[in-house]
């Protein structure tokens, strides 16, 4: 029960942003994130001491790099020109990141906790999709119900929740037969349709990535290639249909932003260019944690970060920050690829379904303080751990 509760609490914490920015949950009289934190912390402690843990040596380097990256970001705050953004980001890095990393490690490694995490993530994604669909059917639109900042979180986080759920549903589809398989495939289609509504372009691409990648990792050889080809063909056919029949796409905010709004890509290219420029000017130690937005002329605005973890680490924490980020996040990917042949395909596929959407977001959307990125890092490294009940 401890493991199951930890898995459920971790899923709620990971996707709390999607839940609490979606009416009617936006009106809760308490902060869902803080409640999930309060529930998860003692559960993680109990899970840690009630299990015997086997740890692969390969996990040591990226885990140590992650710890040193957190420490270095704190040190880099000593020479930043920012006060508000630095304080906000460092509170996330120091307080939330270690907890999320530990949660990903322990929950991803313990079988019962992992199953609870997978089931809860799937249910939350379906619930978010249902909320979005309900709003469409009865005249409520997310962009009309929330202020601009909450709207941005809505379409990003709701889309990520649906992307994870779609990858997990696709994985279930290839693991079952008959009518059950058809049902899971229909759910994938409904989640993909719902993801077209809020406006999150990165999340929609992440959904396609998760649906293609997770089942392919569970399949072998030609079957995996056939699945990848099938997903690509269906995605291309669906996109072509909507482009040729624009009346069918009315109200699909995500598609509208993909086809009509180029400002998002231009803004990202500008931020990436500025990050590289300031990284060169401030080499080798960087601008200091949170210092990019001020240096780039945006003032104390956390939302105008480089939109790429590697570039953010390079610009704000210099060459040491970039090397530690590569060793932590890139090292975790290397560990997963190295250990994959010895692990159960279902376990690898489930982790991939939950990590792939966040990994894409790490490269194009979030900053280093985002708790989802640190949880995903923990999930990847959990492939090198295994927990079983301790013998007393």
Residues 196, 204: contact at Cβ < 8 Å?
yes
The helix/strand/coil state of 182 is helix
The whole-angstrom separation of Cα 277 and Cα 334 is 29
Q: What is the pLDDT of residue 242?
A: 66
The helix/strand/coil state of 316 is helix
Strand partners, 389: 51
Sign of dihedral through CA atoms 80, 306, 352, 339?
negative
Distances (CA, A) of 60 to 105, 109, 158, 337, 359: 12, 15, 34, 15, 21
Residues 96, 374: contact at Cβ < 8 Å?
yes
Residues 16, 157: contact at Cβ < 8 Å?
no
Q: What is the pLDDT of residue 143?
A: 45
- DSSP letters for 223-280: HHHHHHHHHHHHHHHHHHHHHH-GGGGTT-HHHHHHHH--HHHHHHHHHHHHHHHHHH
Reference 73, options 45, 52, 50, 92; nearest CA is 92
Q: What is the pLDDT of residue 142?
A: 45
Residues 374, 95: contact at Cβ < 8 Å?
no
Q: What is the pLDDT of residue 221?
A: 83
Q: What is the pLDDT of residue 114?
A: 96
Going from N- to C-terminal start, the domains of the chain cover 2-389
The region, left, alpha or beta by phi > 0 then psi within -120 to 50, assigned to residue 353 is: alpha
**Consecutive 10-residue runs of the chain (392 residues): their mean pLDDT?**
94 88 70 90 94 93 97 95 92 94 96 96 91 63 49 73 94 89 92 75 84 90 90 82 63 57 70 93 94 89 89 96 97 95 94 94 90 96 89 57
Q: What is the pLDDT of residue 6?
A: 95
Q: What is the pLDDT of residue 135?
A: 64
């Amino acid at each position: 029960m401890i493991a199951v509760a930890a898995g459920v609490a971790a899923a709620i914490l990971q996707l709390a942003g999607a839940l609490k920015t979606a009416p009617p949950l936006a009106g809760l009289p308490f902060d869902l994130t803080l409640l999930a934190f309060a529930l998860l912390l003692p559960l993680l402690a109990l899970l840690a001491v009630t299990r015997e843990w086997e740890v692969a040596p390969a996990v040591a380097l990226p885990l140590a790099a992650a710890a040193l990256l957190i420490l270095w970001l704190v040190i880099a705050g000593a020479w930043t020109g920012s006060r508000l953004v630095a304080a906000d980001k460092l509170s996330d890095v120091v307080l939330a990141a270690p907890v999320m990393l530990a949660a990903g490690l322990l929950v991803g490694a313990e079988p019962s906790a992992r199953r609870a995490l997978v089931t809860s993530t799937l249910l939350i994604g379906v619930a978010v999709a249902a909320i979005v669909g309900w709003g469409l059917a009865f005249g409520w639109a997310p962009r009309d119900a929330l202020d601009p900042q909450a709207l941005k979180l809505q379409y990003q986080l709701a889309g990520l929740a649906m992307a994870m759920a779609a990858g997990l549903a696709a994985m279930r589809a290839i693991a079952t037969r008959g009518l059950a398989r058809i049902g899971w495939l229909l759910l994938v289609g409904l989640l993909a349709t719902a993801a077209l509504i809020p406006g999150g372009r990165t999340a929609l691409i992440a959904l396609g990535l998760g649906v293609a990648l997770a089942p392919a990792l569970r399949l072998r050889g030609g079957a995996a290639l056939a699945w990848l080809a099938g997903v690509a063909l269906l995605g291309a056919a669906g996109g072509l249909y909507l482009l040729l029949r624009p009346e069918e796409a009315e109200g699909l905010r995500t598609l509208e932003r993909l086809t009509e709004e180029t400002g998002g890509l231009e803004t990202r290219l500008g931020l990436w260019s500025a990050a590289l420029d300031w990284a060169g000017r401030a080499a080798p130690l960087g601008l200091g944690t949170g210092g990019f937005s001020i240096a780039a002329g945006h003032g104390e605005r956390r939302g105008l970060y480089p939109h790429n973890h590697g570039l953010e680490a390079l610009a704000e924490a210099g060459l040491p920050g970039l090397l530690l980020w590569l060793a932590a996040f890139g090292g975790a990917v290397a560990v997963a690829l190295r250990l994959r042949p010895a692990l159960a395909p279902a376990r690898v596929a489930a982790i991939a379904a939950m990590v792939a959407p966040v990994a894409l977001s790490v490269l194009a959307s979030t900053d280093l303080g985002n708790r989802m990125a640190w949880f995903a890092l923990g999930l990847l490294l959990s492939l090198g751990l295994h927990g079983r009940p301790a013998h007393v």
